A and B are shown apart, each in its own frame.
Chain A
């Protein structure tokens, strides 16, 4: 039996629509960042440890050169693969590729110089590292950042 004068309970609830909007944006952000990070860095590389590294403060405009060791060891013709954005770059074309990447709008002069990061496996012999350093120098890149990890 209904009693007159008492208002029926109204359905009061929190509006969750803005919350869902923000959370969805955050999830999309994390997914995109994860996807970009995955594309830039290649699996199968064991980074060497270094005691005296530093953080890169400005992480914009960077180019990661991945040196992946050959799966079957270093035979007569086996050499590490050079991968940039998952594209295999022959060693002979690396300097030209870097020059193109470093100065995409050479005449405009608006782009800051790129930061080249070398992400090489710790087991790769130096004879395969040196040509990459020389290619960077030939491309006019003044400094190179060796990606390492903290020891321990």
Chain B
């Protein structure tokens, strides 16, 4: 007994690590963190099309328009069977897979610069939202700045 006491007092104090072992916890937490970071990077960022809301009585967007009436292009969207077609000025029809975009681009090129142009999209009641968005996207691609939606016919 006396010998062991002697040994202890003579030797240096060894710093023993007392407490829980953090290594597995750090491992697990790191895995969770990497999972969240990768998960958030896989989510594709949102993509937006912005449009002014329709002018209604009492709304803020009920503003006076230009004194000179702008050139107006009316695009009627109608459902034919399972697909939607666009009825253009002059009763010309175009599908939404590319013909409409071509028409709008050509129309934009043909217009006199500086003349204000308004494009009205008039979908019928049953036109799916995706076709309305496609038409609007084609208008933006053709660089029309003023594009508005008409309410569906009653």
Contact = CB atoms under 8 A, between A and B. Distances in A.
Interface of A: 2, 7-11, 13, 16, 19-20, 23-24, 26-27, 30-31, 33-34, 48-56, 117, 120-127, 129-130, 133-134, 136-150
A123 B130 contact: yes
Interface residues of B, number: 53
Interface in B23-82: 25-26, 29-30, 32-33, 36-37, 40, 44-56, 58-62, 77
B97 to A, nearest CB: 12
B130 A143 contact: no
A8 B56 contact: no
Nearest to B132: A126
Interface of A is mostly: mixed
B58 to A, nearest CB: 6
Contacts of A24: 29
A130 B151 contact: yes
B134 A137 contact: no
A107 to B, nearest CB: 17
B31 to A, nearest CB: 11
Interface string B121-154: 0011111111011101100110000000101100
Contacts of B114: none
Given A126-B126, A140-B60, A147 B46 contact: yes
A23 B30 contact: yes
Contacts of B123: 126
Interface stretch (B13-21, B85-93, B105-113): B13-21
B49 A19 contact: no
B61 A55 contact: no
A11 B17 contact: yes
Contact of A136 (B29, B30, B53): B53
A148 B56 contact: no
Contacts of B125: 125-127
Given A16-B26, A20-B26, A30-B36, A125 B126 contact: yes
Contacts of A10: 14-15
Contacts of A34: 36, 40
Contacts of A120: 129
A137 B48 contact: no
B1 interface: no
B140 A52 contact: yes
A56 B50 CA distance: 10
Nearest to B55: A137
A43 B140 CA distance: 29
20 contacts: A7-B12, A8-B11, A23-B33, A30-B40, A31-B36, A34-B36, A50-B47, A50-B134, A52-B49, A55-B47, A55-B48, A122-B129, A130-B149, A137-B61, A140-B59, A142-B53, A143-B52, A144-B51, A147-B46, A150-B44
